[in-house]
Each structure stands twice: as C-alpha cells, then as structure tokens.
Amino acid sequence: MRFYRVLFLCLGLLGSTLPARAQFIEKVKAPLQKMFGDSTTAPGEPKLVGYPTLAYAPETRWEFGASLLYVYHAQRKPENRLSEISTFAFVTLEQQYGLWLDHALYTDENRWYFLGRVRAQSFPLRYHGIGTEAPAEYQAYVAANQIWWRERILRRVGNDNWFVGLDADVQSLWNVDFQWQPEATNLLLPLGNGGSFNMGLGPSIVYDNRENVLNVRHGLYAVASGLIYHPALGSEFNFSQFFTEVRGFVPVNERQVFAAQAQAVFNNGDVPFNQLALMGGESLMRGYYLGRYRDRQMLAAQVEYRWLPFDLPFTDRIGAAVFIGAGTVAPTVSDLINVPWQISGGGGLRVLIFPDKDIYTRLDVGFTREGPGYYLYIGEAF
C-alpha cells in the first residue's frame, strides 16, 4: 500500500459513519496526493507546490517554515531544462527568522541561465574566532540583520552544458552585536564587526548536466567564479575572492549512487568576518557548526554513498546514506598544507516524500572530534 493511501486510511477512521468517512477522505485526498503522490501534470506544464517544512541543525535547533516551489519549462517545451523558483520563510528556536528566494531559470533552448539566491534574515550565530586554533567553546553570540543577493547571469556556449557570464554578489550586514561569553579568552573584534555593505563583480563559468538538483542520480556540476569587491562598486572593504566547486554523481545501479564534492575558497585583501570562508553546516563538513572554523582560505571535500531506496518488501520509500569529509582553513594559500585538517563523517536515513520528483527528506548525524551534529532537511546535502 502506497504511503499516501495509508494516510487516507488513517485519517478516514476519524469519521463516525461510512458516509462521513467517505466525505472526509475525498476532502483530504486531493491535497495529500498532490504533495505525496505521483504528479498528473502533463509534460511541459508548470507546477506550483506549497508545503510546510520542519528542519533541525546545530545552527538553528528546530526550524519551522513554509515553502513554495514553482517549476516550469520555458515555452512549455519539455525539451527545455526545468526551471525552478522557490521561496522559503522560517523561524527557529534560536530566535532566527528570514525569507529566502532561490531560482534557476532557463530561457528557450537553454540559451540563458539565471542562477541566484536572495536572503533577508535576522540570523544570530556563534562566533568561535578565526583560524584553526579557534577554541571549541564559542567566544561570542553574534546577532545581526542581513540581506544577501547572489546572481549569476550565464550564456550557453558550445554544447548544452557549458555556461559563461557574470557573477554579482551584494551583502549588507547591520545591527551587529557581539555578545561575548563570560569565559571568552579572545575579545578581539574582527574586521567588519560594525557591519558593512559590499558588492562584488566578476566572471563565472559553469558546467552542469544534472537533471534533478535535489537528488542527483548521475551527472557533473562544476563552477568557478572570481569576484572583486572594490569601493568603486560601493563596497566598504577592498578584497577579492575566487570560488570553485565540483560535484560528481555516478550511479552504481538503479538504486545506489556514489557522490563526491570538493570546494575551494581563496580570499585576498581586507575581508570582513562575515565573508570569510566558513567551514561546517548542513551540507559540507556536517557535524561542525557553520562557521566553527573560518579564515581567508578554505579547502574541503566529501564523498557519500546513497541507497535510494532500499529494496525492501514492505515499502519503496526508505533509503540511507553514509558520508565522510575532510577540510581546513588557513590565512594564506601556502598555509593550507601546514595547518591541521578536520574530519567529519556519519550517515542517515532517507524517506521519499515526492515520488514524482524523486525527492527525499534526510535525517543525518555527522560525527566530529567535538561531538555529533543532527540535521533534518528536504533534499540531499549536495
């Protein structure tokens, strides 16, 4: 029996009579089937889905929110790549709240590719300090308001998978408040502690042949961007950043996938603390708090093996994954070979919630030398 049918049966038992149960089932069946069942949308037709979200991470503890996802093909042609627009509003038990807007938009014949994200949020985080010697106990709780807009405007070149264009990054941080812990040993305020506005521009190149970005079964994604933040652009700080990332996905068989990710961030100049390379979080180096380690330079990589789903006799919705990663930060590129590297690893369960889109929710636990971190999210980590 399919998962949503079990839901219909359980909810229907709440009725007191057979007619009442039938009416109740008919009322809840359509929205639940739309959320958890297979889609009846014709190929090329747009689709709008809204759903509540529940997540957990060390940075937020429990997070409650709502998401709205709109997917479509340009000109309603199924041969065009699937475009996605998603909005997400949330509030957490750590007194964080915000509104996110992400998009990956393709024009007809995939000529143009607009890849971007907008964040407007009040998102206090723990500050441990800068470098690999930062203590495990966080030194300050940093409250701040933030607006962040990152946009890549890319034009297809060559075959359908190569795109080149402009990368733009705008970040504004204000109302910054460093609330130092009583046991803090280093009270030195970092650069940008009073807030800042910075805008960077530069070239970007992307290779992407993935099909389902929330659960990639096969494909390769690679990006390289160089950004210059300069007072001529309105930035308060003068610095540059080079970012590159590669993600690869190899199907082992119909149900199993081997995935790998590598990421590098190189900064030069006067970099404010909030735009340093941050290690940790719910994706890369799971188990470490986001920003547990931060510095000008960062290298990190991970591999993951996924069973999506298990071949079980009683359900086709349960899967799992195991992962291991390594990363480090340093003040200079040459120091990356001398500083200690951190290791994280773990695993978790997967539950198929959108069968027609092959999208799972994941419950991961990442282990580090400082303890575990727990994560509950929709979609794979990368």
> Where does the chain have alpha helices with state H?
3-12, 18-36
Give me the residue spans of the domains in the chain.
1-37, 38-378
Confidence of residue 43 (pLDDT cuts 50, 70, 90): low
The CA distance from 378 to 69, in Å, is 13
- Percent of the chain exceeding pLDDT 90 equals 76
Q: What is the pLDDT of residues 107-146, one digit of tens each?
A: 999 999 999 999 999 999 999 999 999 999 999 999 999 9
The structural architecture, per CATH, of the domain 38-378 is: Beta Barrel (2.40)
Q: What is the CA radius of gyration of the chain?
A: 22
User: Does 147 score more than 90 pLDDT?
Assistant: yes
Q: What is the pLDDT of residues 233-251, one digit of tens each?
A: 999 999 999 999 999 999 9
Q: How many CB atoms lie within 10 A of CB 348?
A: 20
pLDDT score for 41: 56
Q: What is the pLDDT of residues 1-22, one digit of tens each?
A: 333 333 333 334 334 344 444 4
Q: Residue 102's closest CA among 112, 111, 93, 114?
A: 114
Q: What is the pLDDT of residues 290-319, one digit of tens each?
A: 999 999 999 999 999 999 999 999 999 999
- The mean predicted confidence, pLDDT, of the chain is 89
CA 187 to chain centre: 31
pLDDT score for 37: 47
The whole-model pTM stands at 0.85
Q: What is the pLDDT of residues 334-347, one digit of tens each?
A: 999 999 999 999 99
